[in-house]
Amino acid sequence: MILNKLLLLILILNILFLFTNAYVNNDIREIIANIRKPPTYFNFKSIANKNEIVEFKILLKQNNLNILEDKFWDVSNPKSLNYGKFLSSNDIDSIIAPSKEDVQIVIDWLLDNKMLKSEMIIFSDFIQIRTNVLKASNLFFSEFGVYQSELSKKERIRIIGEASIPIDILNKIDLILGLSDFIEDNKMSENMRQSRLDVKSSQLSISPQVIRDYYGIPNGSIGVNSKSSQSIGAFSDYYSSGALENFDQQFSIENVRVINLGSPSCFGENCGQLESDLDIQYMTSIGNNITTYFLESSNGQWVLDWCTTIQAFEPMPSIASLSYSWIEIEQCEITQDCYNLGINSLVYIQRTNVEFQKIGLRGTSIFVSSGDDGAPAFYSVSGNCPIDGINGYCPFGGCEHTTSNCPTITIVNSNYTETPNCFYPANQMGVACRELIIVPEVIDALSTFQQINTHCNFQYENDQFGNTHIYSNCSCEDLTPVSGEGFKMVGYSFDPSNGPIFNPDFPASSPYVTSVGATEIYQSPQPESVCSIESGSIITSGGGFSVTQSQPYYQIDAVNNYLQQQSSSSSLPSFGFNASNRAYPDISLVGSKFSIVQSNNISSDSCPCTMISVDGTSCSSPSIAAMFSLINDKLLNAGKSTLGFLNPLLYQAAKESPNVFNDIINGNINCNRMYCCEYGYEAVTGFDPASGLGSIVYSNMENYILSQK
């Protein structure tokens, strides 16, 4: 009798087990990633040694995301009774964290595959793993290889071919970072470039004091509250403490406090330095005497990694500045391959935006550079924005001609059906052109095309920086085509169906960050204008409309006003953007001719050093972020909460007290870093996607914010 009851109990327990969420080791697996070939800008080097260390993050599915977003908007709305009533990390976890049972299922799967608990760091909604290649290979049924960046020469370990996981684990996970993602570090860090020295203009040379004077920061304004904090995020880039010390000496900056958030220096590992030197020098000099945290994300990581890392610190910095961006619809290139857990650019963006909301709910303001390639963008774009051969040909000078009747040719690749058209030279860094212009037959055809079109005086010209431009005194349709095996070369003809003309950047296009554009400032009386290669800068400030993200409530009126002003503009075709989506940047600040100090040896942390001049939205973001750090300091001294997510307050201020902004009404963002397009966004009265709401009048902005909190 007892035996029968025992057998019955065992049977019941087995049935219950089958109907629970417990991890069951089974053979049904799902492919989560598949690297069929190295992505653009990367080469496969070798099979990874089984003892090499790999790191990856398993991002678990989150709950109640609608509730999280409602709370985010509530605490960020100046008209709400809950404005500034931020949440703790525990409060946020109680809303969205997966169940303990689901987390344990994933942990059991890892343990069952010989992962040690010491190799895991378990957070509320993700698990960080550091293990060897052998264990990772067994876990994902995949080989791992070493890949090298063509530009930075940095290496990373990623899967070869397919990776898979059990189907019951798949249901618990959003995505996995570190398996198949590729980020090209040099491309991400070029939101700053060395200034042009050839242009004689009335642009001011920028120093911390020039910024303070121009934007009206009172002399002696420094942080005094011990709880004030600000931060810089960097990717495979590190600042030189010797250069920072030299900068402080040259500009008489005192009371600089920088704390590295667990980031080891990457000097000697081929990482960059210039970007972080700029960021740290201007954030600490404008937001002086405020504790500044520096968080460097390692080789191959991107903004979602930064989000998960910064949230682990308690307390979190009140201000964060990121000087990095990448094409919004190509986040999938960063998280290659697009089949990773069903991931595509939109999935990556959505998860990142959730993390931005969590950061905002903790009371942190995020500032992001809007990009340095205008509305058209440059890397991995279609190139289908027609170059302006009349008003924008060879903008850097150095070409024999100043106009061209056909500045672009089309190379049609009949063997490459996914991206058949290379629009040269505008698309030279895109996939289509990179596939073609390395082929010997195509290289020969470029020469042949020039020879058979001598009647049009067709020629390839180089500007002073070596960029290629195409001159023709004939129209494109009058050029004689050249055909080869698998390709055809013809004069360019614009067709909207051949690819987007505008290419917004992410995370600048996120509705949950404050996007910062760049301006140029001059000797009076010339007004502040949008930063562009047409007006003497080495970059063009980024901006536009998101492809994937809806327009947030706070900017609807501002965008509608802009669209009404531009309704008859020939440079703004309706097919080029979605007017109901998020528009950016939100604000702007000077971003040209910044004086910074760099170490003569970029792999060293010390001087000898040199003063140089740089341009970029990377100049603008940390500088304006530091201004709001000073305002945060005033709020804390008054016993009030920090700013948190800033945008609803900024757009409200533009309506209620427009004198908080310098309205930028000069310039456009039709160009990228090399070429100028016929289409783009112009600066107009009020908000526009070239300059946002404008730059700030510091004292007026400070007074307005203190009256609202």
User: With 60 as the cut, is the pLDDT of residue 7 above it?
Assistant: no
Instruction: Look at residue 93 and give its three-state secondary structure.
Output: helix
pLDDT digits (tens, 9 = 90+) for 621-644: 999 999 999 999 999 999 999 999
User: Which of the four pLDDT bands, split at 50, 70 and 90, describes residue 11?
Assistant: very low
pLDDT score for 524: 77
pLDDT above 70 covers a percentage of the chain that reads 89
Instruction: Name the binding residues for Ca(2+).
Output: 663-664, 686, 688
Q: What is the DSSP string of 293-354?
A: EEEEEPTT--HHHHHHHHTTSSSPPSEEEE---EEGGGHHHHT--TTGGG--HHHHHHHHHH
Helix axes 345-361, 303-310, angle to 10 degrees: 30
- The CATH label, of 3.30.1540.10, 3.40.50.200, 2.60.200.20, 1.20.58.1030, for the domain at 187-376+504-708 is 3.40.50.200
Tokens of 467: 């960029």
394-397 LR contacts (CB < 8 Å, sep 24+): 394/461, 394/463, 394/469, 395/463, 395/533, 395/534, 395/671, 395/675, 395/676, 396/196, 396/463, 396/464, 396/465, 396/467, 396/533, 396/674, 397/198, 397/463, 397/464
Active site residue 263: no
Specify the higher pLDDT residue, 336 or 257. Answer: 257
pLDDT score for 183: 64
Exactly one of 102, 168, 185, 275 is catalytic; name it. 275
Pick from 28-32, 138-142, 402-406: least confident? 28-32
User: With 70 as the cut, is the pLDDT of residue 453 above it?
Assistant: yes
pLDDT score for 201: 62
Active site residue 618: yes
pLDDT digits (tens, 9 = 90+) for 148-203: 988 778 888 999 999 999 999 999 999 899 998 876 544 444 445 566 555 556 78
Exactly one of 321, 541, 618, 623 is catalytic; name it. 618
- The residue-averaged pLDDT of 242-248 equals 96
For residues 535 and 529, the answer to whether their CB atoms sit within 8 Å is yes
- The residue-averaged pLDDT of 368-393 equals 90
pLDDT score for 341: 46
User: With 60 as the cut, is the pLDDT of residue 285 above it?
Assistant: yes
Domain extent listing, the chain? 17-62+97-180, 187-376+504-708, 409-498
Instruction: Compute the distance between CA of residue 610 and CA of residue 376 in angstroms, rounded to an integer.
Output: 33
Instruction: Look at residue 640 and give its three-state secondary structure.
Output: coil
User: With 50 as the cut, is the pLDDT of residue 337 above it?
Assistant: no
- Say how many residues make up the chain: 709
Tokens of 38: 């190295």
pLDDT digits (tens, 9 = 90+) for 580-615: 999 999 999 999 999 999 998 877 788 999 999 999
Active site residue 285: no
Exactly one of 279, 355, 372, 520 is catalytic; name it. 279
Longest dimension (CA), the chain: 105
**DSSP letter at 697?**
-
